[in-house]
Chains A and B, each alone.
Chain A
């Protein structure tokens, strides 16, 4: 292939519409139709004879003489009708016949109007009367606004139905049915949802519009006939509801119900009924007045007759433009002999060859079919013909034309386009690439294809699209583009328009070959061996060339594949594989004897083979995934790799009963997982090993071939281990290697530990925290803590996640001997200490805990995040509230002993002893003053309690004082928890009683009886002063004593 020329010529040579290529390219790439069916007349007879294109040319087209002809060429889309007609035109031009005017009418101009336009350019018609008028008439374009035209079509259709209801000209539907149909067609909801559904190219009116529009903007090869189809009236129950909701006319709703009747043919009848109006609807909407053009055409024929000319019309396609075609058909069937019509009594002979699809031809009216003189049927194409050479010739001719300058072919065409003189490009590729020899003996290169590649690529095309047109666009063009862009190292391309079979003849061959290739190259090699080759590992020697899978080995090297070699076969023990050989039928192989009843392994292996070739892997019982998971879980030393068994168990669903999320297999019927096994040979092989282990070895590695399977399983493990471990580690948020969920669990545990009064020094925490069974501190019922404190404890006691966190914190850091539950603990001290150190920097709180699991797909890793988050949010508030609570409690002590808050830190038991003494003195004084009843509530036992528990109370006061100091939560919290309000309570109670007693005493003092005899209360002198002193005395016992002992 000459890439420089091919780059320039690609768009010229490979054209979707072959009729638009240059005559030279057309002829150079033309592959003769060798099997065309021909029938005389257009009736229903089946007497076809098989003829060649040369027969058609000679017998019916070259010189029909005075014979009127209306020849129809029919065939499916893309079979080459246009190509044949174009070829006939080219032949005509190359070998003109005197007195015969040949007009080729393209698909884009196949109306009567278009035909006349072309005819008016003939020199023979220069003197045609009124020629200038006709020219203006046919040249007048009608500006078409798409929506306007669609509306015109729609309203013309409604008018037709309305007229038919009135006149009753048709009988496909009954009158009342027509009325209902009209009501439905007029309904806006129906219009918007079906008839003229916006942006739906297949909506009926849109479909018809696209055939009518002549603005040239509608591209593509949508050859859907401009017809109503039964499916246009397949409506739904929901639609009835919509109509009812919209309060549609009852007749419309009735008709929809009729359309919905099962087994009723109403949709088909409705389509047929409406189709009968389409021709005139289209003509009206397109502004065509057929009678005018038919008259003009008759005049033209008369004029040509006068010049002694005969007319041949070669019409590429009459599938399109339904309504417009009718007038064209009318003139084509009009013979030149017979009655006159007033436009001219004598008309030239008309011979026409008209292309149409088989489907459309079926809709020809009888009066047209009866006038068909010959019916030509193109049944198969170069691609569907049961012969290799047609496809190879087509390809070779295109490849040759691509590598030749246009001028070379133009010269050849001008010189008569003789087959034996077809220019052949100079090959530049290696001689190993296959060639094709034309019947003339000329050798054309097939580079970059092989015969197998061409056949396989065509076989992969969708049924109905295996035509030269799609072959050129979907196979030839992408392949050539790939090559000329110098991307041979990625060759062959991945095709979108064809899905060739990528199945090897047997899986062992595939494994054998792919094992020699890197993972990155496997897909490409797979494509190459299966499409370009025969999908085997067969290597043979022929004429000193080694072939692998039917492809010469040097080609593999040229394409940049690694040095691969196949299984050696001599030509004696295998059928010789030729690079041009046909595709041998590929059969999915199962290693077992297929005559036997398939074993479980056989069926699973077949499942696996199909998966490798693109199907879904059926694993509804999760057996395959579980076996793979078990293999990885047991074969990897997870703890040594830094993954705790607790973490692994959460992923595989151990204990939790959740789905195993370790692995997912691409295209598998079940299962999601964090480590994806791609649908590649590697995965295929490890699954196959484990299938053998399970089914052939009954869960042991003792089956035939176990050594190789065992080897592969271990080698695969060593290859993927690091990636699996890394994936597991990164599958959740982690903090320097420790999973976030474990760190959250640890946070919960340490906070509970602190709330229980446990010391949180990180250096010793590791050994103290787990020394006892972990538990949540119980909430106190007797108001020994603030409300917030108690609320938090209540939360911790109620939430099951908190108890879970206790277990997680332990299990995560425990080094176990297996991933199953352990009874003993041996901590992974380095990891545990690292986490504690890290947590201690933040008071063991993780404020964003809940965020950490936001995207985690594994539920078991989320349970600890919530309590950790809650604690992180609440604990600082709880500590503040608890401090305030304690400040309240301590205030009476501060006041009573006239202290500063900071003095509490050194609160001494002696103070309390002295206080007890003072109280006793006070009692005595009150006794002397005969006021004992004022202090009746303070019992001697109270005072003894203070005296006897002075140390305990003092410690509690000091502890509370520490907790009131500003500082880190991890320091304050344990102190707050340890500070015992119960210990301080006797002091607080007696202070309260003392205060009450003093008040009572003060109230009783001013000279009131009972007073000891001879005692004159100094208080009586100045009651206000004494009251003031007494109040001050409350804050200072000495003053109190002094005041009372006065």
Chain B
């Protein structure tokens, strides 16, 4: 998603609205422009929205007409914002080399090492340290513009929470919603899973937040927070069985009920 630049005009709800209009039929770019942006000066916002909808494989343009893809028509993606979000979560990180994935990979791991923690300042959209780091590590330009667009989707997809207040701007990683969506998309049924199997199942959707296969089994702060929130809300149970051969490490927490290492994850019936 967003291969080389993230256009802030293409916010999640605008994409969703575009798809709802197209769903009604007889839609062209011009019709969409006229309807969404009655003032001609605003109509440059429409193209990025259409592009992203196409990128998400929900929309296509045939002979000047905008139509829903076959997949979109046959899926539940447009039933509600929640289904739309699940669809987007299933697609967002399918190409790890895309800019959205590259930025997400860094932002989700900000709290995982002293080096990246040092980048956290009062306002991440104006932080020069973070901008420089992103330029190099995410191979990107126009950091401020791209970050402005990234935050809408990071927040919508449930990678974490945007906290804005008193001239500060922060991203608080907690993948509660993203993990829940990944479990849904991976069609994991209620039951107990080896942590390894569980993570293998959700890796296609959350690979950017997980260690690579050859790295040590240590989950980052963002994913750990997501699992902890799911655990504390009773939607799943993380535990370490004493005789388990493999286990995953989680960042330490203040909750004595939440393990710091997990070998098994149990999903509750109907909880996801």
**A residues touching B (Cβ–Cβ < 8 Å)?**
511-512, 515-516, 565, 626-627, 630-631, 633-635, 637, 639-642, 693-694, 698-702, 707-708, 710-711, 713-715, 717-719, 766-771, 815, 817, 824-830
Contacts and interface: CB of A to CB of B under 8 A. Distances in A.
A482 B44 CA distance: 70
* Interface-centre pick from A512, A698, A714 (highest chain B CB count, 10 A): A714
Contacts of A713: 161, 163, 172
B37 A830 contact: no
* Interface-centre pick from B13, B35, B176 (highest chain A CB count, 10 A): B13
Contacts of A634: 162-165
B198 interface: no
Interface stretch (B67-75, B186-194, B204-212, B253-261): B253-261
A814 to B, nearest CB: 10
Nearest to A717: B161
A512 B256 CA distance: 8
Contact of A815 (B17, B155, B172, B257): B17
A827 B35 CA distance: 8
A962 B24 CA distance: 33
Contacts of A770: 38-39
B254 A512 contact: yes
A699 B16 CA distance: 34
B176 A766 contact: no
Contacts of A827: 17, 35-38
A565 B256 CA distance: 8
Contacts of B167: 699
Given A700-B122, A714-B172, A829-B21, A635 B251 contact: no
Nearest to A566: B256
Interface stretch (B94-102, B136-144, B228-236, B238-246): B228-236
B170 A771 contact: no
A713 B161 CA distance: 9
Nearest to A634: B164
A707 B163 contact: no
B168 A699 contact: yes
B34 interface: yes
B14 A826 contact: yes
B38 to A, nearest CB: 4
Contacts of A630: 163-166
B248 interface: no
A710 B42 contact: no
A406 to B, nearest CB: 49
B8 A817 contact: yes
* Interface-centre pick from A634, A767, A768, A769 (highest chain B CB count, 10 A): A634
A817 B162 contact: no
Contacts of A631: 163, 165
Contacts of B251: 707
Interface string B137-163: 000000000001000100110001111
Of all A-B residue pairs in the complex, the 5 with the closest CB atoms, nearest first, are A630-B165, A634-B164, A714-B174, A699-B168, A770-B38
A699 B81 contact: no
B13 A767 contact: no
Contacts of B174: 710-711, 714-715, 718
Contacts of A694: 166
A507 B81 CA distance: 40
Contacts of A717: 161
11 contacts: A512-B256, A634-B164, A640-B16, A702-B120, A714-B176, A715-B228, A715-B232, A718-B233, A768-B38, A826-B49, A829-B35
Nearest to A630: B165
Given A515-B255, A767-B34, A815-B17, A718 B165 contact: no
B272 interface: no
B122 A698 contact: yes
Contacts of B254: 511-512, 515, 708
Contacts of A715: 174, 176, 225, 228-229, 232-233
A700 B111 contact: no
A770 B229 CA distance: 44
A329 B129 CA distance: 93
Main secondary structure of the interface of A (DSSP, over half): helix
A837 to B, nearest CB: 13
A516 B172 CA distance: 24
Given A825-B38, A825-B42, A829-B20, A707 B111 contact: yes
B42 A635 contact: no
Contacts of A828: 13, 17
A817 B81 CA distance: 17
Contacts of B85: 640
A582 B36 CA distance: 72
A637 B256 contact: no
B122 A699 contact: yes
Contacts of A711: 174, 225, 228-229, 253
B105 interface: no
A828 to B, nearest CB: 6
* Interface-centre pick from A511, A515, A693, A826 (highest chain B CB count, 10 A): A826
Contacts of B132: none
A759 B164 CA distance: 43
B45 to A, nearest CB: 5
A514 to B, nearest CB: 12
A174 B247 CA distance: 97
* Interface-centre pick from B34, B161, B167, B255 (highest chain A CB count, 10 A): B161
Contacts of B161: 635, 713-714, 717
A172 B20 CA distance: 95
B42 to A, nearest CB: 4
B1 interface: no
Interface in B1-52: 8-9, 11-14, 16-17, 20-21, 34-39, 41-42, 45-46, 49
B164 A825 contact: no
A700 B120 contact: yes
Contacts of B165: 626-627, 630-631, 634, 699
B155 A637 contact: yes
B221 interface: yes
Contacts of B111: 707, 710
B182 to A, nearest CB: 16
A718 B177 contact: yes
A131 B160 CA distance: 97
A165 B265 CA distance: 96
A567 B14 CA distance: 50
A2 B229 CA distance: 45
Contacts of B46: 826
B162 to A, nearest CB: 5
A199 B77 CA distance: 72
Given A815-B11, A825-B38, A714 B160 contact: yes
Contacts of A817: 8-9, 11, 148, 152
B121 interface: yes
Contacts of A718: 174, 176-177, 229, 233
A830 B39 CA distance: 18
Contacts of B228: 711, 715
A824 B225 contact: no
Given A639-B13, A711-B228, A766-B35, A701 B120 contact: yes
A168 to B, nearest CB: 80
B119 to A, nearest CB: 10
B126 to A, nearest CB: 12
Contact of B121 (A637, A640, A700, A708): A700
A640 B80 CA distance: 10
